[in-house]
Amino acid sequence: MPQASLQFNEATARDPVRQVADAIRRRVLEHTLTNNGGYLSQACSSAEILATLYLRVMRLGPSTAPRVPRPFAGVPSATNPRAFTGADYNGPRAPELDRFIFSPVHYALVLYSLLIELGRLGPDALDEFNQDGSTVELIGAEHSPGHEVTAGSLAQAISQAGGIALARRLRGETGRVWVFMSDGEFQEGQTWEAFAALAHHRIGNLGVYVDANAQQCDGPMASVMTVEPLAERLRAFGAEVHEVEGHDPDALAAPAESTAPRNRPLVVIARTDPCRGIERLRERAPKLHYVRFKDGQEVETYQALLADLREGAK
């Protein structure tokens, strides 16, 4: 084995965030193969961000939810007391604990895979993935593990998180509210309405991590509708903004380390690579949003790749 690769593996073994992130990529690739389709590039771009949030940034209690995902119990309504949210996978609610709001819920498989790696979901939880009657849905909703709000209509979560953060401030709670967003959501006007309100009301107990992978459904964001310069725009809206290398756990964690009270929202723009860890994906660019393999040969190629990744992880 070449020396460089060996060193990389040793570094990986030492860093739990990197370890979890690589495991997420393997699991998402496995399920993309099983289902012949999936949001694979999102796992490549966001694995370190989400792993850093759970392992180094957020103060969460242990999961209070079953390791085997609950079946869907019906939509919330006055006549359905059985409806629940998947927030209990992120631990109990407590004044000093943080909350996690997951916005681009087509990344659901990435979050489920992370919850498995962290032991918050059982190892077989993805047997339920995209199955009828399951909460482990393809595009998550508030009943899905790790989800607290119904965010699939993009850019709605940041406003809901703002309301939650404001309510927590009114109650004098010290825990923070963390929102995971995708850069595409900054095309929605509502996102900017939300940042205006967060700054105006000096909401400093809310932090946002953005997976800036520069990709969206139609292709590269620069060709669809650019949101750059994102950092300058957000600063102009009154946020404290950090731009970091989105696959570097230390760089990702650093902006959130200070727990000193803020009077404005914190935004960490994580510049990421949608093909990170699965180089082969680059040949599919610019269509990376949803990966569906073209033929049996491509499936075999990716199966071999998965076997290599598993071997490398040993």
CA–CA distance, 70 with 133 (Å, rounded to integer)? 10
Mask 264-293, x = binds another protein (CB under 8 A)? ------------------------------
CA–CA distance, 299 with 239 (Å, rounded to integer)? 44
CA–CA distance, 105 with 216 (Å, rounded to integer)? 14
**According to CB under 8 A, which one of 75, 217, 225, 285 is a site residue for another protein?**
75
**Block residue for tokens 């489920």:** 112
Q: How many Cβ atoms are within 10 Å of 304's Cβ, its own excluded?
A: 11
What is the closest distance, in whole angstroms, from the C-beta atom of residue 139 to another protein in the complex? 13
Instruction: State yes or no: residue 164 binds another protein (CB under 8 A).
Output: yes
**Measured distance between the N- and C-terminal CA atoms of the chain, rounded to whole angstroms:** 14
**According to CB under 8 A, which one of 12, 59, 94, 193 is a site residue for another protein?**
193
Instruction: State yes or no: residue 238 binds another protein (CB under 8 A).
Output: no
| Closer residue to another protein (CB): 18 or 106 | 106
Instruction: State yes or no: residue 205 binds another protein (CB under 8 A).
Output: no
**According to CB under 8 A, which one of 2, 3, 77, 314 is a site residue for another protein?**
77
| Closer residue to another protein (CB): 194 or 268 | 194
Instruction: State yes or no: residue 152 binds another protein (CB under 8 A).
Output: yes
Q: How many Cβ atoms are within 10 Å of 270's Cβ, its own excluded?
A: 25
Q: With contacts defined by CB under 8 A, name the span among 52-60, 156-164, 270-278, 301-309 that binds another protein.
A: 156-164
Q: What is the largest CA-CA distance in the chain?
A: 63
Instruction: State yes or no: residue 147 binds another protein (CB under 8 A).
Output: no
Two tokens, residue 257: 């380390």
- Type of residue at 48: E
3-state secondary structure of 266: strand
Two tokens, residue 264: 């404005």
What is the closest distance, in whole angstroms, from the C-beta atom of residue 1 to another protein in the complex? 50
DSSP code at position 185: G
Residues near another protein (CB under 8 A) = 75-78, 83, 142, 149-150, 152-153, 156-168, 170-171, 189-190, 193-194, 196-197, 200-201
